[in-house]
Amino acid sequence: MTLTNAQYRLAARPVGLPTDSDWQYTEEPVAEAGDGEFRVQVDYLSLDPAMRTWMNAGRSYIAPVEIGAVMRAAGIGTVIDSRHPDFAVGQTVSGVFGVQRYAISNGSDVSVVDTGLAPAPVHLGALGISGITAYFGLLDVGKPLPGQTVVVSAAAGSVGSIVGQIARIKGCRVIGIAGGADKCKVLVDELGFDAAIDYKAEDVRARLRTHAPDGVDVFFDNVGGPVLEAVLARLARGARVVLSGAVSQYNTTQSPRGPANYMQLLVQRASMIGFVVFDYAARYPEAVTELAGWLRDGSLLARDHIVPGGIAQFPDALLKLFTGENTGKLILAL
Amino acid sequence: MTLTNAQYRLAARPVGLPTDSDWQYTEEPVAEAGDGEFRVQVDYLSLDPAMRTWMNAGRSYIAPVEIGAVMRAAGIGTVIDSRHPDFAVGQTVSGVFGVQRYAISNGSDVSVVDTGLAPAPVHLGALGISGITAYFGLLDVGKPLPGQTVVVSAAAGSVGSIVGQIARIKGCRVIGIAGGADKCKVLVDELGFDAAIDYKAEDVRARLRTHAPDGVDVFFDNVGGPVLEAVLARLARGARVVLSGAVSQYNTTQSPRGPANYMQLLVQRASMIGFVVFDYAARYPEAVTELAGWLRDGSLLARDHIVPGGIAQFPDALLKLFTGENTGKLILAL
């Protein structure tokens, strides 16, 4: 079966927000699966803020995407033919398939998805890397105790929305920071946060004084910048700041900005802890099992924001992450 | 016995380096000791970078010195009369007596010093709060393992010089960062550091690449600013950054500067941990016992930089901390 692939490749390293000239759209025939390989038709692409950091050169927790290479992205797809003993035609699989219509895989880091547990897109969000990031980052790194105050930034995003719900499930007081009244309403009314702060319209420090009068015990930070500084100013003694992302800094064309008041960590005997979910790969099943249980019993809601229109929508869809258009997990349907 | 006190009081909150107009020199009679009190003639004043932070208004780990109050300072003195059962005339005592010739105390947070163990000034440095800060900050917070690489900034200062020596005693590879070739020579030739970097003359990042080819496992930071950024860029996986001070920022008249590359903490799964030695008060004797043992067996050298001339020298002597004139513990002899 000869298939024609459609792909987005990295054409240039972006300065600021990625533009059309940073991408190269290509079409090419898909090779046949070799021995021990299988072919996947990608159905859904996960769009994540971290993808912006993979476009930069320089030392990070993962190698940069090379110029000319297919852009790296996680996805969910269907096995369309297979010469691999563990993967059968028709199975739904999850893996880092890249921004393309079809992928060839040898099965490395690919898992079969149980669509009986939840629809396919949920396996990119609440039961995928977003949910797993939220689970280990909050519970293993942040270590909140029942009754403690947990704050999460980008709280309406794919990771943040799960962080806040897990914290609520664990008996914490949860405050979400998000951009816009609509998102804040979702956090409180649908996801059960105790409070939400609209950083675009409200004074975050002042609102934290109201909502977290005894200080913030755990801050799960996805954004950096002024929001990080505002929360540092309100830490409780012994607080943990989980560094999961810094999306406010990913597209800046100025020098990146560090938290000017980082010495509040000393004042409050607090710590700031860098966290990469890949280190927990051996324990992913533990997270998925518990997250699936919460989904089943209704204590956890999976919010997806699915962009239709196929692969041609990729460049525009990705930007929604940085303009803050998505609520919940942003996914491109191919 | 009527005594006349001489004191430096805080007249104004400094902008930048403290100037003469920020101080008020006063003389007044010393009250008699009441029941349960004793009077101390202060012999030595501890001069510490943290004193600059106590002069600022705002939330910190200790209340600011009030305008008009005697400046806070640790000191060593002699009991000259006593109505307190636990303190006798002639005893050498250590406490936060303030920048003044005489102090009245009820014994709270005052300890009797064993001058048989080491001369009085050493009880402000290696056996005092500087040594204790180094001890708990490095061993309890930084937790270096033998063979790991430890970097310390302000390495020729009172705390840094002890941190590096303890790390060396514990079998670590030790790199000190200090200002000037003379200080760097002292670190390597006298204090047994493996290497020293002169941040005023050398490229700290490049030198760290040479001296810490496998990265930095523990960074004990006293300075902040560009030195902190340089070390963050060279962290090893799982590194600990102990925040003990940020002297580069204490006198800035611009906005304080946070580490722009703080997301290296994420890249390296590292943590940055704020630390205040006062939290270890119950365990001070444990540190003093071990530090005294190392002093006795010669593995630890106590370097003092004693400024003579009495209390009138206080404003100028304090500035030596910020111009980097001292090597070892800066002390004003009264």
Do A258 and B260 make contact, defined as CB atoms within 8 angstroms? yes
B248 contact A CB<8A: no
Whether B272 and B307 share a structural domain: no
Distance from CA of B264 to the nearest CA of A (A): 8
Whether B135 and B266 share a structural domain: yes
pLDDT at A257: 83
pLDDT at B256: 81
Task: Give the strand pairing for B149-153 and B173-178.
Answer: parallel
Whether A63 and A198 share a structural domain: no
List the structure tokens of A260: 């000017």
Task: Identify the segments of chain B with pLDDT beneath 70.
Answer: 1
Task: Give the strand pairing for A38-46 and A102-105.
Answer: antiparallel
Burial label, A262 (beta-carbon count in 10 A; 0-12, 13-18, 19+): buried
pLDDT over 90 at A221, yes or no = yes
Whether B114 and B147 share a structural domain: no
- Asked if residue B153 belongs to a domain, the reply is yes
Q: What is the mean pLDDT of chain A?
A: 95
- Asked if residue A283 belongs to a domain, the reply is no
User: A-chain residues within 8 Å CB-CB of B229?
Assistant: 258
CA distance A261 to B70: 28
- Asked if residue A137 belongs to a domain, the reply is yes
Whether B181 and B73 share a structural domain: no
CB atoms within 10 A of CB B116: 6
- Asked if residue A107 belongs to a domain, the reply is yes
Whether B142 and B33 share a structural domain: no
B278 contact A CB<8A: no
- Asked if residue B296 belongs to a domain, the reply is no
Q: What letters, b where the CB count within 10 A reaches 16 and e where it falls short, cover A195-209?
A: bbbbbeeeebeebbe
Closest in A246, A258, A269 to B276, CB measured:
A269
pLDDT at B107: 95
Do A274 and B260 make contact, defined as CB atoms within 8 angstroms? no
CA distance A244 to A227: 14
- Asked if residue B170 belongs to a domain, the reply is yes
CA distance A142 to A146: 12
B142 contact A CB<8A: no
Whether B121 and B80 share a structural domain: yes
pLDDT over 80 at A9, yes or no = yes
Whether B140 and B224 share a structural domain: yes
Distance from CA of A123 to the nearest CA of B (A): 25
Do A269 and B279 make contact, defined as CB atoms within 8 angstroms? yes
Distance from CA of A265 to the nearest CA of B (A): 5
Distance from CA of B199 to the nearest CA of A (A): 21
User: B-chain residues within 8 Å CB-CB of A279?
Assistant: 269
Chain A: residue whose CA lies nearest to B280? A269
pLDDT at A168: 98
Interface with chain A: mutation pick from B269, B275, B276, B280, highest number of A CBs within 10 Å: B269
pLDDT over 80 at A1, yes or no = no
Give the pLDDT band of residue A324 (cuts 50, 70, 90). confident
3-state helix, strand, coil in chain A (%, to 5): 30, 25, 40
Number of domains in chain A: 2
3-state SS, one letter per residue, for chain B: CCEEEEEEEECCCCCCCCCHHHEEEEEEEECCCCCCCEEEEEEEEECCCHHHHHCCCCCCCCCCCCCCCECCCCEEEEEEEECCCCCCCCCEEEECCCCECEEEECCCCCEECCCCCCCHHHHCCCCCHHHHHHHHHHHHHHCCCCCCEEEEECCCEHHHHHHHHHHHHCCCEEEEEECCHHHHHHHHHHCCCCEEEECCCCCHHHHHHHHCCCCEEEEEECCCHHHHHHHHCCEEEEEEEEECCCHHHCCCCCCCCCCCCCCHHHHCCCEEEECCHHHHHHHHHHHHHHHHHHHHCCCCCCCEEEECCCHHHHHHHHHHHHHCCCCEEEEEEC
- Asked if residue A256 belongs to a domain, the reply is yes
Do B266 and A244 make contact, defined as CB atoms within 8 angstroms? yes
CATH number at residue B84: 3.90.180.10
Closest in A257, A270, A274 to B260, CB measured:
A257
CATH number at residue B222: 3.40.50.720
- Asked if residue B295 belongs to a domain, the reply is no
- pTM for the predicted model, two decimal places: 0.93
A64 contact B CB<8A: no
What is the arithmetic mean of pLDDT over A263-273?
Answer: 96
CA distance B171 to B148: 8
pLDDT at B249: 84
User: A-chain residues within 8 Å CB-CB of B266?
Assistant: 61, 243-246, 274-276
Whether B141 and B251 share a structural domain: yes
Do B259 and A263 make contact, defined as CB atoms within 8 angstroms? no
What's the pLDDT tens digit per position in B254-274?
878 899 999 999 999 999 999
What's the pLDDT tens digit per position in A80-105?
999 999 999 999 999 999 999 999 99
B216 contact A CB<8A: no
Whether A168 and A267 share a structural domain: yes
pLDDT at A302: 94
Do B224 and A263 make contact, defined as CB atoms within 8 angstroms? yes
Do B276 and A266 make contact, defined as CB atoms within 8 angstroms? yes
Whether A217 and A308 share a structural domain: no
pLDDT over 90 at A215, yes or no = yes
Do B265 and A258 make contact, defined as CB atoms within 8 angstroms? no
Whether A151 and A268 share a structural domain: yes
List the structure tokens of B82: 């006593």
In which domain, by residue range, is B138 found?
129-278
pLDDT at B245: 86
| A281 membership: H or E segment, kind and range | none
CA distance B204 to B202: 6
